[in-house]
Amino acid sequence: MNMAEALAATAAGRGWADRPAYHEQDRTVTHGQVHHLAARAASVLAEHGVTTGRRVVIALPDTVAWVVCFLAAARLGATAVLLNPNLTEENHRYLTEDSQATLAVSDEAIAGHFPDVAHLTGERLLELAERQAPAAAAQVDADHPLYIQYTSGTTGRPKGVIHRQGDLETYYTGAGAQVLGVGPDDVCLSVSKLFFAYGLGNSLAFPLYSGCSAVLSPGPPRPGRIAELVARHRVTYLYAVPSAYANLLAEADPEDFRSVRAAVTAGERLGADLAERATAFLGAPLFDQLGSTEAGHAIATNGVSFHVPGTIGRPVPGFAAEVRAPSGRVLPDGEPGELWVRGPTVTPGYLGLPEETARILVGGWLNTRDRAVRNPDGTLVHLGRTDDLEMVGGITLSPVEIERVIARHPAVRDVVVASVGDERGATKLRAFVVPGQDVTDPDLLEKELLALARTHLAPYKVPRSVTFVPALPRTDTGKLRRFLVRQGSW
């Protein structure tokens, strides 16, 4: 059955129609209202040329209009193309053309980014929907394309990852229900936005399939704003990337987070020190997990059923994981290698890129391009990306170990280490540090950080220098753009 039609039927059948589904600004929208609007918004999309198999760009901030547009496209059997609304005009045009979209839905301020397709604002979509009759649901199967989510471009051009009508329910029944224990009485807030794989599961799949509610925040995820929303809506489940938790610790009041019963982190490396401090700050467990745009949501996670700090937990129910050598040989427990996974929501492939698809999907297994080690208890320890490796003096090394050492210093909020070319073309290991406070004596702090590295690391792993920067080059989903760091400036 069509997933939008099935969700509406589930909400009605389980008595969720009058339960809160979304809190946006000063209004709350129920599950019944969301599905009512989506069925009618589908008629609006149809009037703008959207039919089964066509594609609709959604480049909206996190709002009820975003959710309604997604469900409306699903109802028609169309494919939603999820774009970050803060991309440049050039990027929006490229991704709209690459996806061959029929219609774009965005705020008025960026309407000019989509000159070659029909356009609607999210506000106009909701306004027109109220005047329409519900559209009939296209009868499609679980493998029908539901949405395209572009990779975040950490290593170059974004690639369109295809996901299917049946995937969202599995995000919830796997990680959401069985491991995290998200239920109808929870209130979720995801700092990561809906256009990101992590945010899509947290803010769309989890509330709609569990009957709980989610807080949508269309603006930047500033610590003060997050704290205010958590306190106002009595949020029980908080989702963010590690850097967001670090910012909360530095700028927010822990009293605002007393309603939180559990928190989740993903998207980047979680250091042991930050994990301990965040857990104490929240007064609740912080579950680390690993996700992937290609897998749709979580691959492995900790949760209420088991929690092993220092790991990313075990594979999500339905997933299998193997740690392999570059040759493809499966490695024994305790030996680091490349993480390969197989599961029900792994993408069927990249849009229009068969060779790239064949490279990452082999025999039903996905090469996550993450490095990991498997423990005897089945938990996985994340060791960074395979493309995070640096070459220094002919020696290949992972900068993650170095970053963890430097991050121990109390003055460090964020850090990245990369091999950067100098004026002669020689590469040297450099550290880029975001300080957690004003640096009154940068020379002294640099000496302290390098001394810390010398104490705990082999000489060839000690950076040649430390540069203090206001922020690291991250995508809007929080992922580090290491290829920019390797340029030495951004």
Residue 380 lies in a domain: no
Among residues 347, 374, 401, the one where a domain terminates is 374
Residue 109 lies in a domain: yes
Residue with token string 């002294």: 444
Among residues 374, 397, 425, the one where a domain terminates is 374
Distant-in-sequence, close-in-space partners of 187: CB < 8 Å, separation ≥ 6: 23, 212, 213, 214, 215, 233, 234, 235, 236, 237, 259
Digit-coded pLDDT (tens) for 179-236: 999 999 999 999 999 999 999 999 999 999 999 999 999 988 899 999 999 999 999 9
Beta bridge pairs of residue 465: 430
Q: Are residues 333 and 403 both part of a single domain?
A: no
Whether the per-residue pLDDT at 83 is higher than 80: the answer is: yes
Q: Are residues 106 and 188 both part of a single domain?
A: yes
Q: Are residues 301 and 422 both part of a single domain?
A: no
Which one is predicted more confidently, 109 or 428?
109
Residue 44 lies in a domain: yes
* pLDDT at position 425: 56
Q: Are residues 368 and 410 both part of a single domain?
A: no
Q: Are residues 359 and 402 both part of a single domain?
A: no
Sign, CA torsion 436/440/445/446:
positive
d(CA 291, CA 297): 5
**10 Å Cβ neighbour count for 100?**
13
Whether the per-residue pLDDT at 424 is higher than 80: the answer is: no
Domain containing 185 — which CATH number?
A: 3.40.50.12780
- Give the DSSP H/E element, type plus range, for residue 428: strand 427-435
Whether the per-residue pLDDT at 155 is higher than 60: the answer is: no
Whether the per-residue pLDDT at 375 is higher than 90: the answer is: yes
* Helix axis angle, 31-47 to 122-129, nearest 10°: 100
pLDDT band at 394 (very low <50, low <70, confident <90, very high): low
Q: Are residues 317 and 415 both part of a single domain?
A: no
Domain that holds residue 393: 389-485
Interval 77-95 mean pLDDT = 93
Residue 382 lies in a domain: no
DSSP string, 78-89: -EEEE--TTS-H
Percent of the chain with pLDDT over 70: 97
Residue 305 lies in a domain: yes
* pLDDT at position 393: 60
DSSP string, 318-339: T-EEEEE-TTSPBPPTT--EEE
Among residues 374, 400, 428, the one where a domain terminates is 374
* pLDDT at position 172: 97
d(CA 429, CA 452): 15
Interval 351-371 mean pLDDT = 94
Token couple for 101: 């979209």
Whether the per-residue pLDDT at 156 is higher than 60: the answer is: no
Interval 409-422 mean pLDDT = 90
Interval 143-171 mean pLDDT = 88
Q: Are residues 193 and 103 both part of a single domain?
A: yes
**10 Å Cβ neighbour count for 14?**
13
Percent of the chain with pLDDT over 90: 80
Q: Are residues 411 and 363 both part of a single domain?
A: no
* pLDDT at position 436: 87
* pLDDT at position 153: 56
Whether the per-residue pLDDT at 118 is higher than 70: the answer is: yes
Residue 384 lies in a domain: no
Whether the per-residue pLDDT at 423 is higher than 80: the answer is: no
Structurally, how many domains does the chain consist of?
A: 2
Residue 383 lies in a domain: no
* pLDDT at position 428: 83
Domain containing 453 — which CATH number?
A: 3.30.300.30
Categorise residue 145: left if φ over 0, alpha if ψ from -120 to 50, beta otherwise: beta
* pLDDT at position 437: 82
Q: Are residues 55 and 204 both part of a single domain?
A: yes
First to last CA, the chain: 47
Average the pLDDT over each of 25-29, 52-56, 262-266, 458-462 and give the range with the smallest value: 458-462
d(CA 33, CA 80): 21
* pLDDT at position 426: 62
Reported pTM? 0.85
Interval 73-102 mean pLDDT = 95
* pLDDT at position 87: 87
Using alpha carbons, list the distances in angstroms from residue 173 to 182, 186, 216, 393.
Answer: 10, 15, 22, 48
* pLDDT at position 487: 86
Q: Are residues 70 and 103 both part of a single domain?
A: yes
Residue 440 lies in a domain: yes
Q: Yes or no: say if 80 and 149 are a contact pair by the CB < 8 Å rule.
A: no
Whether the per-residue pLDDT at 115 is higher than 90: the answer is: yes
Q: Are residues 45 and 135 both part of a single domain?
A: yes
What letter would DSSP give residue 388? G
d(CA 436, CA 413): 5
Interval 410-434 mean pLDDT = 85
Identity of residue 33: Q
Q: In whole angstroms, how large is the CA radius of gyration of the chain?
A: 23
Q: Are residues 338 and 407 both part of a single domain?
A: no
